[in-house]
Copies of this chain bind each other. A is one copy, B any other.
Amino acid sequence: MTDVDKIMQNALDAFQEYKSVSPAKKADFLNEIAAAIEAKREQLVPVAHEESNLPPARLNGELSRTINQLKMFARLVLEGSWVEAAIDTADKDRTPPKPDTRKMLLPVGPVVVFGASNFPFAFSTAGGDTASALASGSTVVIKGHSAHARTSELVYEAIYAAIKKAGMPEYTVQHVLGSGNTVGKALVQHPAAAGVGFTGSFAGGKALWDLANQRERPIPVFAEMSSINPVVFFPDTLQQNAATLAKTYAGSITLGVGQFCTNPGLLLAIKGEALDHFLALLGKEIEQVVPQKMLHSGIQQSYTKGLQQALVQKGIEKVGAAVAEAGEGEALPTVAKVAAKDFLKNPHLREEIFGPYSLAVVCDDKAVLAEVLSSLKGQLTTTVMATDKDIADHGDIIALQATLAGRIILNDVPTGVEVCASMVHGGPYPSTTDGRYTSVGTTAIKRWVRPVCFQNFKDSMLPEQLKNSNPPDIWRIVNNEWTKNAIV
C-alpha cells in the first residue's frame, strides 16, 4: 500500500463518518478552522510573504477573506436550505398510484484539492475548495502548492487543531506535499477520489481533467484555468472619463503584480481620438508603476518569456511599460496595442500572459468589435465601461459580452471577487472545465454533491431535511410550492 493509497483510504473511511455529522457540528467545525487560522495570523502572514513575495497587507486581506469564507459556509450549512430538498407526496387515488418521492443533495465523497500559487490562503489549503467540500459533507485531501509549502503546512496545522477541537474524524482533512506530476496525479487517479478542485494554469487543469476522465470511474474536476477577461471601453466613456479610466485600469492591470485569474488582459475599443488619448494616459500610468516580485521564479520566467513573444507579434505596438527596471524575479508592467485585423489573425494573442500585461485591441467599428468578442474563448469575466449613452447605443455588444463569461461587470474592474451567494467565479471553457459551476460563493458547494431521491421511505428512515416535520426548518419545494411548512 503506497502513501497515496493510505491517504485516500483514510479519506474514504473518514467520509463514512463525516458525511453523517450534523449540520450544526459541521458549522462548528468550519468556524473552528476559521478561528484556528485567525489565531495563527501573525505566524502565517510573514511565512506566506517570504514564500510568495506578496505584500503583508495583501496577505492579511486574503487571510481575512479566507476566514470569512469558512464562516460563510458555516452559516450556509447551519441554515441548511442549500440541499435543495424537494418533496412530492403520495397520491394513492391516482391511476397509477403516485409514490412519495423526496430528493436532496448529498456529498459525493473524498475531494482532492490543489493549492493555487497565486492565493496562498484563499484558493489553497483552507480556501474555497476545501471550505465548500467540507460544508458539503465530503472529506478533503489537500495537495499543497510547493511554492508556499510552509504556509500550507501551517494552515493545515490549524485545520488539524480544529478537527481535534470539534471532534471530527481524524482524517476529515489530510495534507500532502510533493510533485503535481506524481503525487497529484496519483491522488486524482485513486479509485477513492470522488472530485477534484484546482485553480491554476490551463496546462495543469487540463491534465488533471484528462486524468479524471480516463479513470475507470470518471470523476468531476472543477479546474479554474485561463482567462484574459476582456474589458470593452465604449466611445462616450472614453471621451468623458479617459483620465479616471487610465488610472483605474493601470491599477487593476498591475494589482498583485497582475497575478489574478481576473486580471484584465484584453482592452477593447473602437478607434478614434478618444481611444488614442486614453491609451496615451494609460501608458503614462503604467510607466509609473514600480515593478514588483512575482510569486516565484517559474512564474516570473513565464511572464518575461510570454511578454517578449507577445511584443514581437505582427502589428503589436507598445503603449507603455514601467520606466523603472525590473529587478531579479520582478515583472515589468506593460501595455501594448494591436489593430483588430492583426488580432483576429493571430490566435496567440488570445492566450493568457499571467502577470501585469494587457493588450489593447483597436477596432475599426462596432462590427469589428463584435467580431473580436466573438473570436474569444470562454472567460471568467468581461467588463463594460460605459456611460448611459454608451449603454443605450451598444446593448447588442453588452448582450454579446454576457455570453462569453461567468461574470459581467459594469463600470468597475474585474479584479476583486466578492465572496457571496450571487458570485460566479467560473465561466465557459477554457476559463474552467465546466461553466455550470463556480469556485467562489455559496454555490461552490454544488460541485461536490449529487441528488438522491428516496422513494416510499418511512419518515423515520429519511434524512432530517426530508422528514415531514422539517426539523431543520429549511426551505423545501413541497408539491411544487416553496415552503418551510411541515407536511401534515
Contacts and interface: CB of A to CB of B under 8 A. Distances in A.
Interface of A: 75, 79, 81, 84, 86-88, 96, 98-99, 101-103, 106, 108, 213, 217-220, 377-378, 391, 398, 402, 405-412, 416, 418, 420-424, 426, 428-430, 433-436, 438, 441, 443, 446, 449-458, 461, 475, 477, 480, 482
Contacts of A461: 391, 398, 410
A456 B88 contact: no
15 contacts: A84-B443, A86-B443, A88-B418, A88-B423, A101-B422, A218-B429, A220-B434, A391-B461, A405-B452, A406-B452, A426-B451, A435-B450, A436-B446, A443-B451, A482-B482
B88 A455 contact: no
A456 B88 CA distance: 38
Given A103-B421, A422-B453, 19 more contacts: A75-B480, A81-B482, A84-B443, A86-B421, A88-B420, A88-B423, A101-B423, A213-B213, A218-B429, A398-B461, A406-B450, A406-B453, A409-B455, A410-B457, A418-B455, A423-B453, A424-B453, A426-B450, A482-B482
Contacts of A218: 429, 433
Best-surrounded residue of A213, A446, A450 (most CB of chain B within 10 A): A450
A452 B380 CA distance: 10
Contacts of A87: 422
B75 A456 contact: no
A407 B453 contact: yes
A476 to B, nearest CB: 9
A113 B40 CA distance: 53
Contact of A407 (B106, B213, B452): B452
Contacts of A418: 88, 98-99, 101, 455
A455 B101 contact: no
Contacts of A457: 408, 410
B86 A429 contact: no
A103 B454 CA distance: 30
A220 B420 CA distance: 26
Copies in the complex: 2
B449 A436 contact: yes
Given A422-B87, A422-B88, A455 B378 contact: no
A300 to B, nearest CB: 28
Contacts of A84: 443
Nearest to A102: B422
Nearest to A388: B458
A96 B75 CA distance: 22
A170 to B, nearest CB: 21
B408 A452 contact: yes
A98 to B, nearest CB: 6
A405 B451 CA distance: 10
A451 B439 CA distance: 12
A451 B424 contact: yes
B101 A402 contact: no
A265 B8 CA distance: 31
Nearest to A466: B422
Best-surrounded residue of A409, A411, A455 (most CB of chain B within 10 A): A455
A195 to B, nearest CB: 10
Contacts of A378: 217
Given A217-B428, A421-B477, A402 B452 contact: yes
Nearest to A404: B452
Nearest to A20: B399
A450 B422 contact: no
Given A88-B418, A101-B423, A436-B449, A377 B217 contact: yes
Contacts of A456: 409-412
Contacts of A406: 450-453
Contacts of A405: 452
Contact of A391 (B103, B424, B458): B458
A77 to B, nearest CB: 13
Given A101-B418, A217-B378, A218-B433, A424 B412 contact: no
B429 A101 contact: no
Nearest to A84: B443
Contact of A421 (B88, B411, B449): B88
A219 B428 CA distance: 9
